[in-house]
Structures are given as C-alpha cells and as structure tokens.
Amino acid sequence: MSIENLLEVKNLTVAFESERGLSRAVDDISFAVEEGEIVGLLGPNGAGKSTFIKLLCRLYDPTSGMITLNGVDIRKYDYREYMSLFGVVFQDFRLIENMTVYDNVAFAMRVIGAREREIRERVPYVLELVGLETKSRRHPYELSGGEQQRLAIARALVNNPSTIIADE
C-alpha cells in the first residue's frame, strides 16, 4: 500500500447523545482507500453513511479514532486546501436557494479562495459539462429534480478535485 494519495480510516467511532442514551452513528470502522480506487459504502438507512461523509468534510469530529490523508490527520490540513481535494454531492444537494445556478457553482470556488477570473472561466465550462449552460441565471427552485442534481454535481466538479464523494 503506497502512502501517496491514501485515505485511511482507523478505529473511527462517532457517538451522539440521544433520548435513548448514547447512539453510535459510526462504530469502530477501519479501512484504506488508495488512489484510483472506487469505493461504495453500503448499508440500511441510519447505518452512518451520511455521517461518515460529513466526517470526511470535517463537519463533525470523530468521538474516537481518526481519518488520515497521506499519513496526516485531516484536522491538521488547512480547511481550504483540504476541501479543494474533494468534491461533494450531498444527499439533499445543499443548494443555496437565493443564489443563481452560476453563483451556486461559483460559491464552491470562492470558498477555497479562487480568483474571480478563474471563476468566470471555469463555471460556464462546468455548467456546459452537466448540460446547464442555458440555466445559469435561474435559481435552484426553478429547476427540475434532475437539474438540481446536475447542479450539485457541477458544484462538486468545479474545483477539479482529485476525489468525488457522492451521497446516494
């Protein structure tokens, strides 16, 4: 197993306090993913798949264990640098309703500090890739469900990440 472009999960647990006591959303999982691998997380509703994705996005910290990228705990990476490595398509798309299609995609570039010139060049290209080039001035609520999904994919692709994470 090479260390380059290696994502490793070691004894990862996430527990939440609930009405019924301590509930484990992720319970002591360990695995590694090397560059070029395609990995699917399978399980019933409530198995912790979305929670794991949120851990990868650093929206949660694990209760115990760790996630490393190239041997470094992901919490030690600069957030902007780290998030430029991943494109994420969330289960609920996480589109910003009061922003246009163009601005939803541009937002992902602004978050990592891209220059406006790069944004003006890249966003139309990515919208064309997903077939939304004629809808750039529309808002998410004006799109069909399939178009909203393609918008979420465009936002995941726009920073040319090395890894795409898609929740369902």
> What does the mean pLDDT of the chain come to?
91
Nearest to 48 by CA among 70, 36, 65, 35: 65
**How confident is the model over 21-37, as a mean pLDDT?**
88
7, two tokens = 């994502």
Question: Is the pLDDT confidence value at 107 over 50?
Answer: yes
Distance between CA 81 and CA 47 in Å, rounded?
29
pLDDT tens per residue, range 64-97:
999 999 899 999 999 888 888 888 888 889 999 9
pLDDT tens per residue, range 126-135:
999 999 999 9
Q: What is the pLDDT of residue 140?
A: 97
Nearest to 102 by CA among 145, 139, 129: 139
Using 50, 70 and 90 to split pLDDT, how confident is the model at 106?
A: very high
Q: What is the pLDDT of residue 3?
A: 47
User: Percent of the chain, pLDDT > 70?
Assistant: 97
User: Percent of the chain, pLDDT > 90?
Assistant: 57
